[in-house]
Structure 1
Amino acid sequence: DGRLLVSEKRGKLQLYTLHGDTREISGVPAVAYGGQGGFGDLVLHPDFASNALLYFSYAEDGSEGTGAAVARARLDLEALQLQDLEVLWRQTPKVDSGGHYGHRIAFDAAGYLWISSGERQQFDPAQDMNSNLGKIVRLHDDGRLPQDNPFAERGAVSAEIWSLGHRNPLGLAFDAQGRLWSVEMGPSGGDELNLIERGENYGYPLVSNGNHYNGRSIPDHSTAPQFKAPVVSWSPVISPSSLLFYSGSEFPEWQGSAFVGGLSSQTLVRLTFDGTTAREAQRFAVGKRIRALAQGPDGALWALEDERRLTGGRLLRLSKQR
């Protein structure tokens, strides 16, 4: 209906109207705020109009540390409340780290739930099939495991894994042809746009087009063709935070393009596609760290800034100059 839901890192869920009114939604679970942890992604169920289900991710505390969780709840817009909350998925294991949660959420046209899971700054779990860290996960919308997942026969946590070898995938989106793409924060150099395919291994931490922050080199993807290489790689980095395929009428010339929000680069990057190949077509200097992107029902682009020490983050509506 044109209203916006915005998650704030400290654990607030806000409802915004186009008239500037703001209301807080109650019933949000306690979040583990700190480092990169806090309240995360928000996605409406494809049948939200009939079931009122809101899916969301957040960092939670545990005895062994912190980890991301994905839950769903019924959103009562009259009572301004989340009801009947269910946790559907958790990162395994929880670790003593404040970073690389990933926890982006997307639905495909068939109604499957997809989750990106960062490797939590632990490196090796991205290659460990007994952990869902550093993976892309595919579930039914109620959290059940699809029997046709690539590693379903292995059981346990392996059964939820669709792809592995990821570092910190912070954008997850389907194109108009139903292909799944992800943007991934690299180490020192080597940010990635990946085409996510069934059972593929994307190589981290064994390969990357960047290096460790301490200067230690990581072999490039070109040295190990058994790993799936990125479609686009950025060095210097853009620090990708989000991914959106544009289909609106406000900018018809951009239909089919994807937009990537940039953190350290403080940019909005437009990508164009030719089948399974892509290239950077434009880069817009925004001057602020862009954390999240969305497309409005009128085709306008919406961007959410990070809050910084001295200034609050802004919610921006981007439309054609008239």
Structure 2
Amino acid sequence: MDLLRRLTLSLTFVVSAAPLAAQVTSETLQTSAGAVQVSAVVTGLDTPWGFGFLPDGKIVLTEREGDVLLITPGQSAVTLRNPPQVTVDGQGGLLDVLVPRDFAQSRTLFFTHAKRQGRGSGTAVTKATLDADGTSLSNHQTIFEIEPGSSGGRHFGSRIVEAPDGTLFVTVGDRGDRPSAQDRSLHNGSVLRITKDGDVPADNPFAQTPGVQPEIWSYGHRNPQGAAIDARGQLWVNEHGARGGDEVNRIAKGANFGWPVISYGKHYSGRSIGEGTTKDGMQQPEKFWDPSIAPSGMAFYDNGSIGSWNGDMFVGSLKFDYIARLEGSPLREAEQIQGESTQRVRDIRQGPSGDLWFLSIGNGALYRMSIPGS
């Protein structure tokens, strides 16, 4: 990153230096819970993808082109030296980041990214240590990469979340190769479960199944770009459909979620996909959208200051520029939270104080959503 952009990011917290014309630094939105204040924490971001909170309140944030930022709210943003080595390939690049629960002891961060594999590229996981002075990453180790063979710049996934038992769930798209999501000799189109060293947990469903990649936890996914674990420890994933058929799925061990055999969407040509919407042995989504909203980041709201939202799911829309609030059983979209700040929402998380935070690609900004005056 050049010096001018370093200064712009650093000064944004103080004077919102050099904002783009499309950016909004603060606005009040009307929601089902009343008025909420949305405030930019940092602007001037270049294709932001994921973020997470350190125990001391600082924020680590990824940009798809390869930069990792360390943000101190109200003070400064630092571009970390020695970021992971990534391949920028269409939708691929530096993608998600996970701050594990043991970060205070380990100072380890986990990143998902595109990695060069021969003539193509695939989704990989690299861990690195944040140095004590908070300026650089070191001790890089790529602990996992998908089985080589993919090409093109589409459908990398890719979220990473920590399970209650400390293992890692990683989402991988079908890489634009639809049949591969049903081919368990590949990792394409799956949710994976690995240890923090990249090993296969012994209780994975296919750990002892010949011809099946042992990291696979579930399969038959198209392009899962959101993942979160609810208060009960249940993993949920959202994924892009084709034309229609975006899904929210409650992930089950060893389950087949059907892509591309069943789908609620259609090919972009208008032709039907697969065999219909149901088939024995294949899971149904908890929620699907038609038309597609292009869902991305996902978070559950727990013990926040807005009591009526507790337990609800929040999902960012890349296509229609809003944050969806989902609730109930069956799961339904109860509300669309929308404003100038919610342009192409890539990621959404609940912060340490209970507020919702989200990344807008359209504005190149990280925002905090809170009750006015809090």
Q: TM-score by structure 2 length? A: 0.81
CA deviation after TM superposition for structure 1 residue 219, in Å:
4.5
Please list, as runs of the form range in 1=range in 2, the aligned pairs for 1:13-52 lying within 5 A after superposition: 13-52=68-107
Give the Cα separation in 2 of the matches to 1:34 and 1:63: 13
Give the Cα separation in 2 of the matches to 1:211 and 1:77: 50
Residue 98 of structure 1 pairs with residue 149 of structure 2: no
Secondary structure of 1:154 counterpart: coil
Residue 285 of structure 1 pairs with residue 338 of structure 2: yes
The aligned counterpart of 1:321 is: 372
Give the Cα separation in 2 of the matches to 1:52 and 1:94: 33
Runs of 4+ in 1 over 6 A off after TM superposition: none
Q: Which of residues 171, 180, 193 is equivalent to 1:125?
A: 180
CA deviation after TM superposition for structure 1 residue 293, in Å:
0.9
Q: Say whether the 8 Å CA contact 2:192–2:217 is kept in structure 1.
A: yes
Give the Cα separation in 2 of the matches to 1:171 and 1:303: 13
Q: Say whether the 8 Å CA contact 2:248–2:286 is kept in structure 1.
A: yes
Q: Say whether the 8 Å CA contact 1:108–1:174 is kept in structure 2.
A: yes
Give the Cα separation in 1 of the matches to 2:177 and 2:74: 44
- Describe the superposition over 1:170-224 as per-residue Cα deviations: whole angstroms up to 9, x where unpaired: 1111111111100011000000000100111001011110011122211476441
Q: Say whether the 8 Å CA contact 1:120–1:133 is kept in structure 2.
A: yes
The aligned counterpart of 2:265 is: 210
- Describe the superposition over 1:232-252 as per-residue Cα deviations: whole angstroms up to 9, x where unpaired: 000011110111111142323
Q: Which of residues 46, 59, 69 is equivalent to 1:4?
A: 59
Q: Say whether the 8 Å CA contact 1:268–1:286 is kept in structure 2.
A: no
Structure 1: runs of 5 or more not aligned? none
CA deviation after TM superposition for structure 1 residue 225, in Å:
3.2
CA deviation after TM superposition for structure 1 residue 49, in Å:
1.0
The aligned counterpart of 1:165 is: 220
Structure 2: runs of 5 or more not aligned? 1-55
Give the Cα separation in 2 of the matches to 1:104 and 1:232: 19
Identity %: 38
Residue 195 of structure 1 pairs with residue 236 of structure 2: no
Secondary structure of 2:208 counterpart: helix
- For 2:232, give the aligned amino acid: Q
The aligned counterpart of 2:5 is: none
Label 1:253 to 1:294 Cα distance change in 2 as closer, same or farther (>3 A): same
Residue 177 of structure 1 pairs with residue 232 of structure 2: yes
Give the Cα separation in 2 of the matches to 1:56 and 1:48: 14
Q: Say whether the 8 Å CA contact 2:107–2:129 is kept in structure 1.
A: yes
Q: Which of residues 65, 69, 74 is equivalent to 2:129?
A: 74
- For 1:292, give the aligned amino acid: D
Q: Say whether the 8 Å CA contact 2:184–2:211 is kept in structure 1.
A: no
- Once the two structures are overlaid, the 10-residue window that deviates more, 294-303 or 98-107, is 294-303
Q: TM-score by structure 1 length? A: 0.94
Give the Cα separation in 1 of the matches to 2:348 and 2:86: 22
Q: Say whether the 8 Å CA contact 1:221–1:229 is kept in structure 2.
A: no
Q: Say whether the 8 Å CA contact 1:8–1:39 is kept in structure 2.
A: yes
Secondary structure of 1:103 counterpart: coil
CA deviation after TM superposition for structure 1 residue 34, in Å:
3.5
Give the Cα separation in 2 of the matches to 1:58 and 1:111: 21
Structure index of larger Rg: 2
Please list, as runs of the form range in 1=range in 2, the aligned pairs for 1:200-279 lying within 5 A after superposition: 200-219=255-274, 222-274=277-329, 277-279=330-332
The aligned counterpart of 1:64 is: 119
- Describe the superposition over 1:89-112 as per-residue Cα deviations: whole angstroms up to 9, x where unpaired: 112224221010002100111101
Secondary structure of 2:159 counterpart: strand
CA deviation after TM superposition for structure 1 residue 226, in Å:
2.3
- Once the two structures are overlaid, the 10-residue window that deviates more, 193-202 or 291-300, is 291-300
CA deviation after TM superposition for structure 1 residue 254, in Å:
1.1
Q: Say whether the 8 Å CA contact 1:186–1:192 is kept in structure 2.
A: yes
Label 1:51 to 1:157 Cα distance change in 2 as closer, same or farther (>3 A): farther
- Describe the superposition over 1:142-182 as per-residue Cα deviations: whole angstroms up to 9, x where unpaired: 11111111111125652111111000001111111111100
- Describe the superposition over 1:27-75 as per-residue Cα deviations: whole angstroms up to 9, x where unpaired: 2122222321111001112211111110111112221301111011111
Count of residues in Structure 1 that have an aligned counterpart in Structure 2:
316
Residue 305 of structure 1 pairs with residue 360 of structure 2: yes
Q: Say whether the 8 Å CA contact 2:68–2:80 is kept in structure 1.
A: yes
Structure with more contact order per residue of length (Cα contacts < 8 Å, sep ≥ 6): 2
- For 1:315, give the aligned amino acid: L
- For 1:316, give the aligned amino acid: Y
